[in-house]
């Protein structure tokens, strides 16, 4: 499924309130926390913040598919939010694999659900996978997104609501309009 308008995207994200994937938060609360954390750590990178907001949209579109949710989400938003946001969404599960591989203590920071999906997503990276990931254009941003993703699971954390993201989403989508130099 392709999400072609901001209204459609907002509706999909809003549907995340009714999603229970075994985590402590519903999908919308998790996405809002992730975006807010990236807003704090990377205040000048609106595309990264938006990627944090939409990183699990693939789970909302095709529930129960942890091995493909990242690519499903990337494919759904690329036309609306651009290739960088889509690349970050596509790589957030690979960034988890990378961090587990390079930081042995990282596995202990993952939620039970995230540990279970790690095995389905390929587990630790081998040397060639690691080198390819590190050489990727969006490597550092994908790792930042992953760290925010894992930290964005605190019940009761107060963050701005979905309406606060309408303008940042509009700005990122505006960059995708024809005639804007892409």
User: Does residue 34 sit in helix, strand or coil?
Assistant: helix
Count CB atoms within 10 A of the CB of residue 68. Answer: 15
- Distance between CA atoms of 126 and 161, rounded to whole angstroms? 39
Q: Which among 2, 9, 36 is positioned nearest to 151, based on CA atoms? A: 36
User: Domain limits of the chain?
Assistant: 6-174
57-114 pLDDT, tens digit each? 999 998 888 788 899 999 999 999 999 999 999 999 999 999 999 998 999 988 888 8
Instruction: Judge if pTM exceeds 0.85.
Output: yes
- CB-based contacts of 146, cutoff 8 Å, min separation 6: 92, 95, 96, 98, 99
Q: How does pLDDT run across 24-68, given as a tens digit for each residue?
A: 788 999 999 999 999 999 999 999 999 999 999 999 998 888 788
More confident residue, 116 or 163: 163
Q: Which CATH class is domain 6-174?
A: mainly alpha
């Amino acid at each position: 499924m392709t999400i072609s308008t901001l209204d459609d995207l907002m509706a999909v994200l809003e549907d995340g309130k009714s999603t229970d994937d075994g985590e402590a938060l519903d999908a919308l609360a998790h996405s809002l926390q992730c975006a807010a954390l990236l807003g704090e750590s990377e205040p000048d990178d609106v595309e990264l913040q938006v990627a944090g907001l939409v990183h699990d949209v693939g789970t909302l579109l095709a529930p129960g598919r942890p091995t493909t949710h990242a690519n499903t989400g990337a494919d759904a938003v690329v036309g609306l939010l651009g290739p960088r946001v889509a690349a970050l969404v596509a790589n957030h599960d690979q960034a988890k694999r990378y961090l587990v591989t390079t930081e042995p203590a990282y596995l202990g920071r993952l939620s039970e659900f995230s540990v279970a999906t790690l095995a389905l997503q390929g587990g630790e990276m081998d040397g060639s996978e690691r080198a390819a990931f590190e050489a990727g254009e969006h490597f550092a941003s994908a790792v930042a997104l992953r760290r925010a993703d894992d930290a964005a699971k605190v019940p009761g954390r107060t963050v701005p609501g979905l309406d606060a993201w309408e303008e940042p989403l509009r700005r990122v989508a505006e960059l995708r309009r024809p005639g804007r130099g892409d």
